[in-house]
Amino acid sequence: MKCQETKKHLFDYVLEEIPPELQIQVNEHLAICAECRAESARIGETVTAFKNSVAFKPSPEIFSRVRGQVPLRKPRSARFFGVPRSLVYAFGAFLVGVVMTRSIDTFVAVDDQPVQIEVREEKLREVPYSDTVEFYAVPARNLARI
Ligand SMILES: [Zn+2]
């Protein structure tokens, strides 16, 4: 491996994020090339310095000051043309239910035979039978007399 190609992989090599075969090739080059070895050491020192650095944490005072300057919005409830979305969904579900039940009624409750009403007129008996219930139809103008 030549210097130019080695330098391309040096950063990944220091971070140990290269395939083992490539790592062996870089190792072999570093064993014979002082310049690349120095470059690798410099990158290694930089990475170590970053790893050892303390994470920046702002003081609570700074954090509260920044928080006061950033406007925080309240999360709005989901709306659909000004109406809460849950209400729209509930109404939609109701409509779907109505349509489904009406459709089922249309297919299930098919009346093949029309209702036949038999109207018979018989003379009133003088003596009613005891086991018979008779219904009388009376014209509306005669209701007051009954
Ligand atoms: Zn080299």
pLDDT digits (tens, 9 = 90+) for 15-53: 989 999 999 999 999 999 999 999 999 999 998 888 877
Asked whether residue 48 is domain-assigned, the answer is yes
Phi, psi of 49 (to 5 degrees): -60, -40
Do 88 and 64 lie in one domain? The reply is no
Tally the domains of the chain. Answer: 2
Asked whether residue 145 is domain-assigned, the answer is no
Mean pLDDT of 106-114: 71
Asked whether residue 41 is domain-assigned, the answer is yes
- Residue 51 C-alpha to ligand 1 middle, in angstroms? 26
- Residue 52 C-alpha to ligand 1 middle, in angstroms? 28
Asked whether residue 34 is domain-assigned, the answer is yes
Average model confidence (pLDDT) across the chain = 83
Q: Is the pLDDT of residue 110 over 70?
A: no
Asked whether residue 59 is domain-assigned, the answer is yes
Asked whether residue 25 is domain-assigned, the answer is yes
pTM above 0.95, yes or no: no
Q: Which is more confident, 101 or 144? A: 101
Cβ atoms < 10 Å from Cβ of 88: 14
Domain boundary among 72, 97, 117: 72
- Residue 30 C-alpha to ligand 1 middle, in angstroms? 7
Q: Is 127 left (phi over 0), alpha (psi -120 to 50) or beta?
A: beta
Asked whether residue 117 is domain-assigned, the answer is no
Query: Do the Cβ atoms of 68 and 61 come closer than 8 Å?
Result: no
- Residue 15 C-alpha to ligand 1 middle, in angstroms? 18
Asked whether residue 103 is domain-assigned, the answer is yes
Q: Give the range of the structural domain holding residue 63, as residue numbers without chain letter.
A: 1-72
- Residue 33 C-alpha to ligand 1 middle, in angstroms? 5
pLDDT in tens, 63-80: 888 888 888 777 677 777
Collapsed DSSP state (helix, strand, coil) of residue 53 = coil
Q: Is the pLDDT of residue 100 over 90?
A: yes
